[in-house]
Amino acid sequence: MDSSLKTQEPQVVDTPETTPSPIAQEPPQVAVKPVVVPSPIAQEPDNDVPAPRNEFAEFAAGCFWGVELAFQRIPGVTVTEVGYTQGISHNPSYEDVCTNTTNHAEVVRVQFDPKECTYETLLDLFWSRHDPTTLNRQGKLLGAQYRSGIYFYTPEQEKLARESLEKEQTKLEDKIVTEILPAKKFYKAEEYHQQYLVKGGMHGNAQSPAKSCKDPIRCYG
Ligand SMILES: C[S@](=O)CC[C@H](N)C(=O)O
């Protein structure tokens, strides 16, 4: 037996003093999601008043930039505005809407003089401007803000909208997913979004809003 083992002193291991990392002292980080506060105000009907002798109509058909320009070019359309509606929160910003948590749709609210332009004309343009068979999507643009919708102001508009959907469906193989609902509170979008393509869009080339103009609309989106 090796007697040296018995007499061996207990080894003292020299451990370096460790300072706890400051990160370990912090409470665990939870991913911060933007909080969407639902508001009953957003569910109220659109009670705005159009100009005398004009009526409102409202459409969602993808990014509102190109849709607005298309409506501006229709004779009898007197005013167009882009905005957000049919979501859960009050006074949403574009950034809020883009989180895809507020359920707002990008819309164009049109004022038209029914003596100069029928609601059916507006419906025809609506169908021709987008693909109504893709849910919450227009091409590469994904999210509820890009859904297809017709938001009506009168029972007559509702009837015409439903009839036109039926007619459109006979031309298409895929099922139309367009929602047809009463117009709710309209939140006008930020000023830079209004008439965006007429102002030059993101590449500074202005597109004409002239009535009956047939130049192709370049939407960059
Ligand atoms: C107002 S829109 O949703 C704009 C969408 C477009 N893709 C863009 O360039 O951001």
- Please answer whether residues 50 and 80 qualify as being in contact, where contact means their C-beta atoms are separated by less than 8 angstroms: no
| One pLDDT digit (tens) per residue for the chain, 221 residues | 444 444 455 555 555 566 666 666 777 777 766 689 999 999 999 999 999 999 999 999 999 999 999 999 999 999 999 999 999 999 999 999 999 999 999 999 999 999 999 999 999 999 999 999 999 999 999 999 999 999 999 999 999 999 999 999 999 999 999 999 999 999 999 999 999 999 999 888 899 999 999 999 998 64
Considering only CA atoms, which residue is closest to atom 5 of ligand 1?
221
Whole-angstrom Cα distance, residue 138 to residue 145? Answer: 10
Whole-angstrom Cα distance, residue 152 to residue 150? Answer: 6
Whole-angstrom Cα distance, residue 187 to residue 63? Answer: 15
Ligand 1: distance of its center to the CA of 183 in Å?
Answer: 23
Structure ipTM: 0.93
Ligand 1 contact via 71 beta carbon (within 6 Å): no
Ligand 1: distance of its center to the CA of 189 in Å?
Answer: 13
Ligand 1 contact via 196 beta carbon (within 6 Å): no
Considering only CA atoms, which residue is closest to atom 1 of ligand 1?
63
How do the domains of the chain map onto residue ranges?
A: 40-199
State the virtual CA torsion across 137, 74, 80, 169 in degrees, nearest 10: -30
Architecture of the domain made up of 40-199: 2-Layer Sandwich (3.30)
Ligand 1: distance of its center to the CA of 221 in Å?
Answer: 5
98 assigned to active site: no
pTM of the predicted protein model? 0.85
Ligand 1: distance of its center to the CA of 121 in Å?
Answer: 26
Ligand 1 atom nearest to 221, measured from its CA: 7
